[in-house]
A and B are shown apart, each in its own frame.
Chain A
Amino acid sequence: MNPTAENEVIVFDNLVGPTAVDGKYAPVTMPVPSSEPFSNVNAAGDTKTVVSLDEIKEMASESGGRLKEALRS
């Protein structure tokens, strides 16, 4: 994903959310947020730093696989 792109939508292909119709769910999407320069305002400590959404996705996927493996054993 290019976080600076305009009019683009992120599709979360494994998530579904509620709709206006009771009991009906639709894929979760959101507009790509406009990226602003990162400013380190967190004086006492920051959560992990990442460079892109792809890094988050890779980290999450590895975490899910690792947990599944750990719980299986």
Chain B
Amino acid sequence: MFNVLYNDTIDIDLAYLLSYINDFTKGLGEHRVSIDPQKCRLILLGMRQDFPHVDGMNHASCFKKIANFVAYFVAEKPIQNPFSEENIGSDLEKLSNHQNSIVALQVAIDGLHGAMIHRNQDQELKVENRIQISRHSYVDIIDALQSITPNTHYKLLTILFEQLVYKTNLDCQYPAINI
């Protein structure tokens, strides 16, 4: 068994990431997608080193892991050619770096669907339901992701993914309070 990301070796992560991008872009209708595999390797390396969590990568939640990947991926911009208006629509096509934001967000959505949340030492929760967002929110999120960096956006991204998952998986949420 493997994980979508954060496997034992970077080579396995790289094979999975490139395979994901290869087939995701095919499904989207994009052909001959120009990508820098060396940047992908650096992303996978960077997101593990100095993981921004007090107890390190191995004790970080799936939300923190995914958020760190997304921040590194979008900041490094490994996919060079923008996607076509025909496939993604004009409102997304005009956003700079949309191709990297779109791929990173989709890896996050797929990587969190079925992810495990370990809580209170003996409680294990599975994210059973996929993240769902409106088209309007989707465009806004891609817009907001355009120029993120790991240093400045990792924490906010972690909270964003956590809240998006909780929206369709109420049982995974900590008890809500009125504030």
Contacts and interface: CB of A to CB of B under 8 A. Distances in A.
B95 interface: no
Contact of A45 (B7, B65, B102): B65
Interface of B: 1-9, 11-12, 14-16, 18-37, 55, 57-66, 87-89, 92, 102, 106, 109-118, 135, 138
B57 to A, nearest CB: 8
A15 B21 CA distance: 8
Contact of A33 (B12, B87, B118): B12
Contact of B28 (A44, A53, A68): A68
Residues of A in contact with B, size category = 35 or more
Interface in A11-69: 12-18, 25, 28, 30-36, 38-39, 41-53, 56-68
B23 A57 contact: yes
A71 B66 contact: no
A60 B22 contact: yes
Contacts of A28: 18, 22, 35, 37
B116 A33 contact: no
Given A44-B60, A45-B118, A59-B20, 18 more contacts: A15-B21, A15-B35, A16-B35, A17-B37, A31-B11, A33-B14, A44-B118, A48-B111, A49-B3, A53-B19, A56-B16, A60-B20, A60-B23, A61-B27, A64-B26, A67-B28, A67-B102, A70-B138
A46 B155 CA distance: 18
Contact of B21 (A10, A52, A60, A65): A60
Contacts of B18: 10, 12, 15, 28, 30
